[in-house]
Every structure is written in structure tokens, then in C-alpha cells.
Amino acid sequence: MHATTIDRSHDPARRSWVASANESGTDFPIQNLPWGVFRDDEGAAHIGIAIGDQVLDAQAAVLDNHLPDLPGTISCALCAPTLNQFMGLGHDSWTAARHAIADLLDAESQTRDELLRPMAGTEMLLPATIGDYTDFYASRYHATNVGRMFRPDGEPLMPNYLHLPVGYHGRASSVVVSGTPVRRPHGQLKPDDAAPVFKPVRLLDYELEFGAFIGEGNDMGTRVQMDQAMDRLFGIVILNDWSARDVQKWEYQPLGPFNAKNFASTISPWVVTMDALAPFRLPGPARLDEDPGLLDYLRPVTEDVLDVTCEVHLASATMREAGEEPLRLTRGSLSDLCWSFAQMLAHHTSTGCPMHAGDLIGSGTISGPSKDSRGCLLELTWRGTEPIELPDGTQRRFLLDGDELTINAFCESGDARRIGLGSCSGIVTPAC
């Protein structure tokens, strides 16, 4: 295994002159420094870095000469309206920018309040122009549960499942940033004993996932090797891949997901970099003794598993009106996946498929071994046969109009400062 680089930017004792970044419960201490894009007061898009409850304006830091040691290529990229150019510069440039910004924000440096704006009230945008989006199916627990539901008399996993990371090409145009309302879609539905109908979907679901943004891409006809893969991944976001289960069960044969998945996928606004996640990387993913051996091109050679804890909460409209706390549905971990993002990237490019900076790959639903770690309502309610009781006295088999779904995620370790990914949320609105 190649060692993961831990450097001065990860020092858990380090503090910032931004007071809120030093609070114990913050998602965004100086050891994190995730990247995003916000809209300024004149309506322009700027790259920002989250620090405590503030946003550092990267363009202002560059133009005011507060990052003088950065090469011109990096400085220019930090003044762009999206992260694509910066993502494409590669790992050495990302690390250089991280170190420079950490030094600027360090408690021993001069206070620069003019570079900050409050996170509250700041409009966040998609962090990158997403050219392509591919979603995988990397949770063995999720695939096993779904297989048992729909093939109770057969093997729950398909014959290829333990040999390669299964995925499908999603729809980049319907990836939206957290807080964007999600309209209930129409779809072609097939009642059990009747002809197909076209109407608003009934079995609307969420899927607890993470997404990884591609940084440095590869040319067509080349592939990304496993020892390169983690350094080609810029960072991760929380992802909710909204799903219409009644559309899915009618349309998915023989080519897989289509309209059931293309109407909305929500991501959190802050991209937590692989550099920031270095203290939370583990060897793996683990294989069972009886699992088939991996082909060489998929065999891990770096610490590819990300130990990220995630939680899903649901609040109905009446719960919010009554001031009731959201109900936690799921608590899981990204480390439960049986395929890593590095393996997904290596397999995706194994044919010579070109990837570009800002492309997004999704993990697929993250589920764990216990019921409370299942990552979607399809599993939690076992196809609606075991409804969930909400504090307002109602039940949920699938999502209803007015429901707000929120996913939070964070990393904790005894040797590192806790960091978070923020939140990813959306409210279901009625079909039009």
C-alpha cells in the first residue's frame, strides 16, 4: 500500500483567526477547507472556501495579493466562475492552493475580514460544470437487499457483481445544488393487473450516496491505473439520487435506469478534497474469503476507503410547521461500500473512456448491515410493507409532497480534527 500523505495542513492543533472555525462542532475547521462556488452581491459566480461559518472569496484573495506564492496558473484558475479549470490542474496544484489558503487563514496570520462573507444567506451554486455523470451500484448490502426483494427464490447478487463495479450513465443536466426544490415527476406506470398509465409517480424515494468529482482527466484511448486513481479524484460531495420506484420497476428491463433517475440528483455545495480526507482513508475495500479474486486492474494499491459517517433525516411539512425535530431515518458509512471510488474510476476508464475535470461519479445507495443503516425507503420499508412512523402521526412508505429530506456527513478520528461535508437537502413539491 502507498502511504497517504499527512502534512502540516492536517495538524489537529492548528487554529484560524476565523473564530467560528475553532468551535468543536463546526464542519469547516482550518483542517478542512472545502471548495465551492457562490453568487456575489452583483450576481457574479466566485470560487469560495468554507471556513467556520464564513466563506473566503478566492478571487478577492488573489486580486488583493494575499496568495503571492501561488503560480499564475493556479491564481488564474481561482478567479474562474467554476472549479473546472482548477480541478484540471492536478493534485500538486490542489495541494499548493490548500497550503497557501491554510497559511492565509492561520491564527498566526493577519486578520483579513474583508475577504469573508457570512455563509448564512449566501447563495451557493453548483461547484463545477458537470459534463458527464455516472452512477454506480457499489454497496453490497444494498444490492443484496434489493436482490432479495425482487428475486426471493434466486441469488440476490448478479453473477458480475463481485467482479466489477456496476454502473450506468446518468443525466448531468438534472444535477442540482442543495436547497433546490424537487418536483414530483410524471411517469409511465404499470399497475399489476392493468395497462400502463401516465401520471405522477407514487413511489418517490431518496438514495443516500456520495459523489466524487474528477480532477485531472485522461485522454481518449488511455486509462487511469489504480495507483493513479485517488490522485485524479478532486474531492467528494453528498449526493441524493432521487428515484421513482414505480417508473423504475416497469422501465428498467433490459437496459437499466432511465426516466426513474433522470429528473433530479441533488448534491451538497462544498467539495471536500481528497487532501482533507487523508486522515480518514483506510485500506480496502474488504473482501470476503469466498469472494472471487480481483483482476489486477482493480486491485487496490493505495488507501482507497473513505471513512465518512452519514445521516439521513426526514421532516414532513406538518413537522416543520409544528417546530418538531426531523426524524433520523438512516446512519451509515461510506466505508461500507464494496467498491471504492478509485476502483470505479479505474473501471470506467478501462476501455479508454475519457474523463474530464468536473465529471461526477456517484457511489450508488450506501447501505450497511443493520436496518437503521439502509440508505433508501425501498429498503427501510421493505417495498412499503414496513412503514415508518413519523412524529406527526403519519406513516411513510415512500416520500409525500412537502417532505424535506436532509443528508449530513462528517469524519471523525482520534488522530485528526473532525471535519464535515455540510448538508444536502431538498423538499418534494407537487407534480405540475
pLDDT tens-digit series, residues 173-182: 999 999 999 9
Tell me what pLDDT residue 256 has.
Answer: 87
Region 405-430 average pLDDT: 97
Q: What is the mean pLDDT of the chain?
A: 97
Tell me what pLDDT residue 213 has.
Answer: 98
Nearest CA among 131, 127, 92, 89 for reference residue 361: 131
Coil, strand, or helix at residue 321?
Answer: helix
Q: In this predicted model, which residue has the larger pLDDT, 151 or 49?
A: 49
Known catalytic residues are 142
Tell me what pLDDT residue 337 has.
Answer: 97
Q: Where are the beta strands (DSSP E) in 190-289?
A: 197-200, 204-205, 208-214, 233-241, 243-244, 265-267, 272-273, 281-282
Tell me what pLDDT residue 94 has.
Answer: 98
Tens digits of residue pLDDT in 389-412: 999 999 999 999 999 999 999 999
Tell me what pLDDT residue 2 has.
Answer: 45
Neighbours of 64 (CB within 10 A): 12
Residue 67 has pLDDT above 90, yes or no: yes
Tens digits of residue pLDDT in 89-136: 999 999 999 999 999 999 999 999 999 999 999 999 999 999 999 999
The pLDDT confidence band at residue 3, using thresholds 50, 70 and 90, is low
* CA dist., res. 157 & res. 161, Å (int): 6
Nearest CA among 396, 227, 364, 355 for reference residue 300: 227
Q: Based on DSSP, count helices (H) and strands (E) in the chain, helices before strands.
A: 10, 26
Region 373-395 average pLDDT: 97
CB 95 within 8 A of CB 87: no
Alpha helices in 127-183 (DSSP H): 140-150
Tell me what pLDDT residue 1 has.
Answer: 39
Residue 153 has pLDDT above 90, yes or no: no
* CA dist., res. 22 & res. 15, Å (int): 6
Q: Domains plus CATH for the chain?
A: 14-125 (2.30.30.230), 133-429 (3.90.850.10)
* CA dist., res. 329 & res. 314, Å (int): 7
Tens digits of residue pLDDT in 182-237: 999 999 999 999 999 999 999 999 999 999 999 999 999 999 999 999 999 999 99
The predicted model scores a pTM of 0.97
Nearest CA among 3, 217, 270, 272 for reference residue 90: 217
Region 2-29 average pLDDT: 92
Tens digits of residue pLDDT in 17-41: 999 999 999 999 999 999 999 999 9
**Cβ partners under 8 Å of residue 307, min gap 6:** 280, 281, 282, 333, 334, 335, 411, 413
Tens digits of residue pLDDT in 302-332: 999 999 999 999 999 999 999 999 999 999 9
Residue 279 has pLDDT above 90, yes or no: yes
Residue 172 has pLDDT above 80, yes or no: yes
Nearest CA among 340, 344, 150 for reference residue 252: 150
